[in-house]
């Protein structure tokens, strides 16, 4: 049979893209092989799934209706002169407007223009890998031609280069820009050859946009820079805006507002420059921008250099468990959390050791299947397949400095897209809080692990809350689940308080003179982890507490202890806070962190002899606000609000999940995001005594499902089972909520910790399978430090994350795709700490 006849036989298995389809032509859906890998990539001409040489056979065997593929093989060849040795010149770079790398408005350090791509294309038919070169086959069926051309022209996955992620604030438009006064004083400024009008400096020069005067900039902490003459000019004249000469290009320039004390944007800059005879379109960059200078400083000194250990040549690591993750533009928070998570044995077992089993069960649309994509990340990080030294370094390893050796690593685009889907923050390309992402990840994994082995149990613990009415002395104990120990950072209790006062005074004095402190003179608050633990354990006063013993408002004290201790404890320091000006900021503290931690003294003991419990089920008297019972845990509301959800929606979520913690509240939010009154204020209808008040509006749960002959909706049971609950759990939820589907889902999520301990009737017992993992694990409260995640930057909205992990008795730093042995691990500056129980 001729090649043409063979291809005609497969036309029913070919689908022509019509636009808008997701075409996975950049990476295998099961691993991180690309068209540049040794075997290339096979793109199914029907489903558009991309498979590597190893997995295309497995995919075909599982889905035999997909036998014909487009085979893409690419080879990268460096262009002569692009690396700096030839005559080719780079085009002028667009001026960065953000202290960011690899994102819109940031520094562009991509490889575009440095390499020539050679591409080989063929049509491959399975199962025998029968190959037909394309387009050399004459009269290739039109349908196949259209399908191939559609795939080749599609954008595919969004590729970004591997970069360091330093993300700063976006510059705001100056309030002076629209109505800036410009004097008609006849001043004309030449395009070059500038000099300070008050001294002989010819660098770091700023031109005032009101009168055209040229002055030198601020004096740097090391004595370099300028003589502060631009600042002096502003103090004398009040003229607010100045442009840095040498940074003016056709795309913009550095503009500083002395009145606003910040770098700003001037949308009318071309007109303002033309007033003094400067043609912006003909100017070239001759000096460093302020963002370039700031990155230089941060990389040399301070928090950035310390946490990244950038002042040392670290020994790179390769192989299983030492695979880096490329930064896709502000994805370092994800990279650090995933590296740490996959050091836990239960996560390795679930997603790496069972990798083949998960792939065998994966649906055809694997990029949309969470378990498959988690397994893909696990395989990528732990197999060692994608952790090899670059080829050029293997050829000359002895000659290259250790710091230059960077592996390729993996680029988890599919996972990032999937884990962020529908989330107001994690679906964006902005920098995020690693702690919030950790909780989001745990919540998603837990939701996809119902009825099967759940690795999050190794991090889960029960917290015991004790509330005591001050006036009656009676107490109430309740337990809630959590995955994170969030500790306050009481800077006011710092060990070096006197030194801090002196430093802050000196800092204010320098700032009043327009000078900046030398970063080497920085004084951080010094605290011990024990101080934070003591603050966490201190009783908290609850004002306006409704005491069921007094049947009146009173004051209560609330304290928290551990009811159980997990195998692994994630400790979170609350470094991020809101300043007096309502701007998010980070507490710059140095922590004394023990390698071993004993928390046994914080174990809860439940109700004690002689204690009397507060009566249950008592309602506030008529006239009391309905919201007073139950109370709303404001900490959980804040935690959810910081993730980007409306505050009122967060209050509802906490209320309708009975203060069961962020996990249950997040489930409620995900179920009700499309409700028309999702962000409306919480409203409660009074209920008869002994019954829970009902919500108003769509958040109440919606219409009831039609009943079957058994009294329960079969359709509702099916939907609840599809959400991950067993049939027995679904039956229980519908019975508890009078056959209301949405209320049943809320009830099940909010009682997820209790489902396996509640009494069951016969029907439920027959349908409820045995849990694959225990609900919580418990043991000694003694731990050892095994990993920590650090953040550089001033707030969660900007900065960079790296992590350090204990491997084979030594700490290893994971800085995106760079993996190396740590020489001076900065555990005192970290944000999240992972402790492992000492058996």
Q: Give the residue numbers of the binding site for Zn(2+).
A: 196, 199, 216, 229
- Calpha distance 681→670 (Å, rounded): 18
Pairing of strands 214-216, 241-244: unpaired
From the candidates 31, 332, 469, 798, which is the catalytic residue? 332
Name the residue among 527, 493, 491, 523 with its Cα closest to residue 507. Answer: 523
Contacts (Cβ under 8 Å, ≥6 apart) of 298: 166, 304, 305, 792
Q: Which residues are annotated as a binding site?
A: 196, 199, 206, 216, 218-221, 229, 256, 258, 261
Name the residue among 48, 45, 47, 28 with its Cα closest to residue 36. Answer: 28
Name the residue among 784, 810, 827 with its Cα closest to residue 314. Answer: 810
- Calpha distance 160→543 (Å, rounded): 52
Contacts (Cβ under 8 Å, ≥6 apart) of 811: 804, 805, 821, 822, 825
DSSP letters spanning 159-213: --------B-PBPPBPTTSTT-----S-----SS----SSSS--SSEEEETTT--
- Calpha distance 760→767 (Å, rounded): 10
From the candidates 272, 791, 800, 804, which is the catalytic residue? 800
- Calpha distance 394→405 (Å, rounded): 9
Give the other-Cβ count within 10 Å of 361's Cβ.
12
Token pair 């679904």: residue:
730
Q: Is residue 800 flagged as an active site residue?
A: yes
Helix, strand, or coil (residue 572): strand
- Calpha distance 307→305 (Å, rounded): 6
Backbone angles phi, psi at 613, to 5 degrees: -80, 150
Lookup: tokens for 411: 């680029």
Contact 121, 82 (CB under 8 A): no
Contact 183, 210 (CB under 8 A): yes
User: Cα 136 to the chain's mean position, in Å?
Assistant: 46
How many residues can be counted in the chain? 839
H-helix segments, 215-259: 229-237
Q: Is residue 28 flagged as an active site residue?
A: no
How many CA atoms lie within 13 Å of 122's alpha carbon, on the beta-carbon side?
A: 18
Name the residue among 726, 732, 691 with its Cα closest to residue 712. Answer: 732
Beta strands in 187-309 (DSSP E): 205-208, 214-216, 241-244, 255-257, 262-264
User: Which residues are the active-site residues?
Assistant: 332, 800
């Amino acid at each position: 049979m001729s090649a043409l006849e063979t291809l005609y036989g497969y036309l029913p298995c070919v689908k022509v893209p019509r636009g808008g389809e997701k075409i996975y032509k950049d990476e295998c859906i099961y691993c991180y092989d690309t068209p540049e890998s040794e075997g290339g990539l096979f793109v199914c001409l029907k489903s558009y799934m991309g498979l590597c040489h190893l997995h295309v056979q497995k995919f075909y065997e599982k889905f035999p209706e997909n036998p014909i593929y487009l085979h893409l093989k690419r080879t990268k060849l460096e262009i002569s002169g692009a690396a700096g040795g030839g005559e080719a010149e780079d085009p002028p770079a667009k001026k960065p407007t953000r202290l960011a790398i690899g994102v819109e408005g940031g520094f562009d350090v991509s490889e575009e223009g440095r390499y020539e791509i050679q591409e080989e294309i063929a049509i491959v038919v399975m199962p025998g890998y029968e190959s037909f070169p394309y387009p050399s086959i004459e009269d290739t069926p039109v349908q196949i031609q259209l399908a191939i051309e559609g795939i080749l022209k599609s954008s595919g996955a969004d590729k970004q280069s591997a970069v360091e992620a330093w993300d700063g604030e976006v510059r705001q438009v100056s309030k002076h820009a629209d109505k800036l006064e410009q004097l008609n004083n006849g001043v004309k400024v030449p395009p070059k050859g500038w000099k300070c009008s008050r001294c002989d400096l010819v660098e770091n020069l700023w031109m005032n946009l009101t009168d055209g005067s040229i002055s030198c900039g601020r004096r740097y902490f090391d004595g370099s820079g300028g003589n502060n003459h631009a600042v002096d000019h502003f103090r004398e004249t009040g003229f607010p805006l100045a442009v840095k000469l040498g940074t003016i290009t056709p795309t913009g320039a550095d503009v500083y507002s002395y009145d606003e004390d910040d770098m700003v944007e001037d949308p009318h800059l071309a007109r303002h420059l033309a007033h003094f005879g400067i043609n912006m379109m003909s100017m070239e960059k001759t000096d460093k921008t302020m963002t370039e200078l700031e990155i230089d400083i941060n990389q040399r000194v301070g928090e950035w250099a310390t946490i990244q250990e950038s002042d040392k040549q670290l020994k790179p690591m390769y192989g299983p468990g030492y695979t880096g993750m490329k930064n896709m533009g502000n994805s370092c928070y994800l990279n650090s959390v995933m590296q740490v998570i996959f050091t836990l044995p239960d996560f390795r077992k679930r997603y790496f050791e069972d990798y083949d089993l998960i792939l065998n069960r994966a649906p055809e649309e694997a990029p949309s299947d969470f378990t498959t994509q988690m397994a893909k990340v696990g395989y990528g990080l732990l197999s060692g397949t994608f952790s090899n030294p670059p080829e050029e370094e293997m050829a000359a390893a002895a000659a290259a400095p250790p710091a230059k050796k960077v592996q390729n690593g993996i680029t988890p685009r599919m996972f990032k897209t999937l884990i962020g889907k529908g989330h107001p923050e994690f679906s964006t390309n902005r920098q995020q809080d690693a702690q919030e992402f950790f909780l989001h990840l745990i919540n998603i994994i837990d939701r996809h692990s119902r009825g099967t082995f759940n690795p999050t149990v190794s991090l889960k613990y029960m917290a015991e809350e004790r509330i005591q009415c001050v006036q009656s002395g009676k107490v109430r104990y309740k337990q809630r689940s959590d995955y994170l120990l969030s500790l306050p950072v009481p800077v006011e209790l710092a060990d070096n308080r006197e030194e801090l006062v002196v430093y802050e005074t000196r800092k204010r004095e320098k700032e009043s003179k327009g000078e900046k402190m030398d970063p080497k003179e920085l004084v951080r608050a010094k605290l011990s982890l024990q101080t934070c633990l003591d603050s966490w354990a201190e009783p908290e006063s609850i004002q306006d507490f409704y005491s069921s013993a007094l049947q009146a408002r009173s004051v209560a004290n609330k304290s928290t202890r551990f009811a159980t201790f997990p195998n692994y404890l994630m400790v979170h320091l609350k470094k991020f806070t809101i300043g007096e000006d309502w701007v998010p900021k980070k507490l710059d503290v140095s922590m004394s962190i023990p390698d071993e931690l004993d928390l046994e003294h914080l174990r809860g003991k439940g109700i004690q002899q002689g204690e009397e419990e507060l009566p249950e089920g008592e309602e506030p008297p008529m006239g009391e606000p309905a919201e007073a019972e139950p109370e709303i845990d404001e900490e959980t509301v804040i935690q959810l609000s910081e993730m980007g959800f409306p505050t009122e929606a967060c209050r509802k979520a906490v209320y309708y999940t009975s203060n069961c913690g962020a996990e249950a509240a997040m489930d409620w939010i995900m179920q009700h995001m499309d409700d028309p009154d999702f962000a409306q204020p919480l409203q409660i209808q009074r209920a008869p005594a002994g019954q829970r008040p009902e919500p108003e509006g769509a958040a109440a749960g919606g219409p009831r499902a039609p009943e079957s002959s058994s009294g329960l909706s079969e359709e509702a049971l099916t939907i609840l089972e599809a959400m991950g609950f067993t049939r027995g759990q679904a039956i229980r939820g519908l019975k508890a909520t009078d056959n209301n589907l949405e209320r049943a889902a809320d009830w099940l999520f909010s009682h997820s910790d209790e489902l396996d301990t509640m009494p069951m009737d016969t029907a439920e017992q027959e349908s409820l399978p045995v849990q694959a993992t225990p609900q919580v694990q418990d043991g000694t409260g003694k731990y050892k430090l095994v990993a920590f995640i650090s953040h550089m930057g001033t707030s969660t909205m900007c900065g960079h994350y790296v992590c350090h992990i204990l491997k084979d008795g030594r700490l290893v730093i994971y800085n995106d795709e760079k993996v190396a042995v740590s020489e001076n691990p900065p555990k005192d500056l970290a944000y999240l700490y992972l402790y492992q129980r000492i058996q």
